[in-house]
Amino acid sequence: MGPVRAIEAVDEIDSAPALGVSRRVAVVVWGVAAAIVAGWLVLAVGHRGDDYRVSHVQGVWIAAAEEARAGRLYPPLFDGKHYAGTRYMPMPILLNAAAADLVGDPLEGGKLLAATLMTMLLGLVVVVVRRLSCPWPVAAGVAAVVVGTNAGLQAGTTIGGDLLPVALQVGALAVIVSHRRPHHLVLAGALAGLAAASKLTGVWAFFAIVTWLVWNRQWRPAVTVAVASVVTAGGVLAAVQLVSDGGLFAHLQTFSFAGVHNGRVIFRGPNQILYNLIGHAMGTVVLFPLVLAGVLQPRRSPMVWLLYIALGYVLLLLVIVYADIGTGFNQLFDLVVVSALVVGGLAGERVASHAGAAARGYLLVVMVAVLWAGSLDLVRTVGFDIRGMLAASGQAGAARRSAVMIADLVKPGDEVLAEDPAVYVALHRRPLIADSFMLNVLDRHHPEWLDPLIQQVADRRFQLVVLVVPVEDRSLDYWWTNFHYGPRLAAALRASYRPAGTVGRYFVYRPR
């Protein structure tokens, strides 16, 4: 039986009888999954316009959306006054800009877009695993684990760019597991191509699908998917390159490896994966033994192998990504999603095998693991954040944005130096620095570009300086050396400015 006929046979199987092994456990899994999703929606709606899960990183996305709205997508790196620089790909920036246009506010628009994309992603996760005969409770449970982890909740409640490429890639997998006619292959390839135009690492679905098709000696479908992906990604990037007057490639060439300082950092990847999993994706940690055990099982359905191939590419890309010191736990989101798909696929495979008591026992183990993973997320992440939201609801001014509070302090003629570009957006000004992490890169490659800014600081030209880390704390020197601004600008700030208190999540400084 060929791989196509095998999947069609699996699709015909009704998984409902297998649930008789543990209807009570299934009901509890349904309850936990519903509680996680409901909690996420409460947080998304309740925090739609405030600083919840907003930091200077989201400030960069806010500023990028506003720059795109103003027609300055990938502007010159330095125009004599403004410092640009990003390695974010164009698709999420353009979608965030469109959402800001729709809502009238970049933060609220970005959060609305995140909630919409997360809803679509959860639906696609269920579609993929159900097509592999995964029982409904397990399908709902693994989808809930995705949004219940800290990485998933972050992606689903704030402005950013991690959700879109994952949703597009899971969409490509959903097409492949459902149909493989020529026009479906083109659609899957196009979705994978759009994902590649959405994030530098949004390529695991492309590689996984092509590898799987080649492995099964389906040469023509593999070529179809590859051509559709390359044409789609190339068309989008070429159009943006043209519209931005060459700015896209200038930015990517300069900043793609901004946090990779030497070749030895490649060895930090595995450690960072483990560290971030334990801290930000405990639900995935619970499910991962099932993923590893599944590799050792003697028989694998073709589609489950496709998911494992995707997981392998995700892990490989993560090892590379975490060689960059400028990456955080948000990068785990791909691993969270694909691990959930693998667990759902393994459960469906057991159901489809009609292996009697062994299948029922395995399914019970999977449901207990999903219940354990979901319960951890419900208590440690979703429940914790809801409790914080309820505690803050009675506090005056709790919902005010820190950037707006800063804007209230600025007089019309005041010059402001802000580490978070969201401050400039709140002031209705073009950001002086679009991304402080990239400014450090510019200082290493073009120190003469930063000389005028450092002179302005030395001359105390800025009436207000707004930082996310206190510059006078010398124990935090690593921040300025490795992450933001660079040591030269930090030293100038220490010499010319004094602390003037805190406003929201910011540290404020005035001229000495």
Question: Which tops the pLDDT comparison, 434 or 4?
Answer: 434
Q: What is the pLDDT of residues 275-331, one digit of tens each?
A: 999 999 999 999 999 999 988 876 668 899 999 999 999 999 999 999 888 899 999
Q: What pTM did the predictor assign?
A: 0.93
Residue 469 near residue 494 (C-beta atoms within 8 A) = no
pLDDT above 50: residue 4: no
Number of folded domains in the chain? 1
Averaged pLDDT for residues 399-428: 95
Confidence of residue 13 (pLDDT cuts 50, 70, 90): very low
What residues contact 274, with CB distance under 8 A and at least 6 apart? none
Residue with tokens 């040469």: 219
Whether 449 is covered by a domain: the verdict is yes
Query: Which pLDDT score is estimated for 267?
Result: 75
Query: Which pLDDT score is estimated for 16?
Result: 43
Whether 487 is covered by a domain: the verdict is yes
Q: What is the pLDDT of residues 51-82, one digit of tens each?
A: 999 999 999 999 999 999 999 999 999 999 99
Residue 374 near residue 148 (C-beta atoms within 8 A) = yes
Q: How far apart are CA 468 and CA 439, in angstroms?
A: 15
Q: What is the pLDDT of residues 189-236, one digit of tens each?
A: 999 999 999 999 999 999 999 999 999 999 999 999 999 999 999 999
Helix, strand or coil, per DSSP, at residue 500: strand
Task: List the Cα angle 167/278/161 in 5-degree steps.
Answer: 25
Whether 498 is covered by a domain: the verdict is yes
Q: Which of 28-32, 88-92, 268-272, 489-493 has the lowest mean pLDDT?
A: 268-272
Show the domain range for 449: 402-511
Nearest residue to 146 via CA among 292, 386, 309, 342: 342
Task: List the Cα angle 367/332/28 in 5-degree steps.
Answer: 20
What does the DSSP assignment read for 194-215?
Answer: HHHTT-TTTTHHHHHHHHHHHH
Averaged pLDDT for residues 473-478: 94
pLDDT above 80: residue 266: no
Helix, strand or coil, per DSSP, at residue 223: helix
pLDDT above 50: residue 12: no
CA 258 to chain centre: 18
Whether 328 is covered by a domain: the verdict is no
Sign of CA dihedral 25, 30, 36, 42: negative
Query: Which pLDDT score is estimated for 35?
Result: 97
Sign of CA dihedral 411, 412, 416, 420: positive
Q: What is the pLDDT of residues 342-395, one digit of tens each?
A: 999 999 988 776 666 777 788 888 889 999 999 999 999 999 999 999 988 867
Whether 442 is covered by a domain: the verdict is yes
Whether 306 is covered by a domain: the verdict is no
pLDDT above 60: residue 406: yes
Confidence of residue 180 (pLDDT cuts 50, 70, 90): confident
pLDDT over 70, % of the chain? 92
Whether 464 is covered by a domain: the verdict is yes
Q: What is the pLDDT of residues 435-463, one digit of tens each?
A: 999 998 899 889 999 999 999 999 999 99
Query: Which pLDDT score is estimated for 356?
Result: 66
Q: How far apart are CA 110 and CA 61, in angstroms?
A: 9
pLDDT over 90, % of the chain? 80
> What is the chain's mean pLDDT, rounded?
91
Whether 489 is covered by a domain: the verdict is yes
pLDDT above 60: residue 7: no
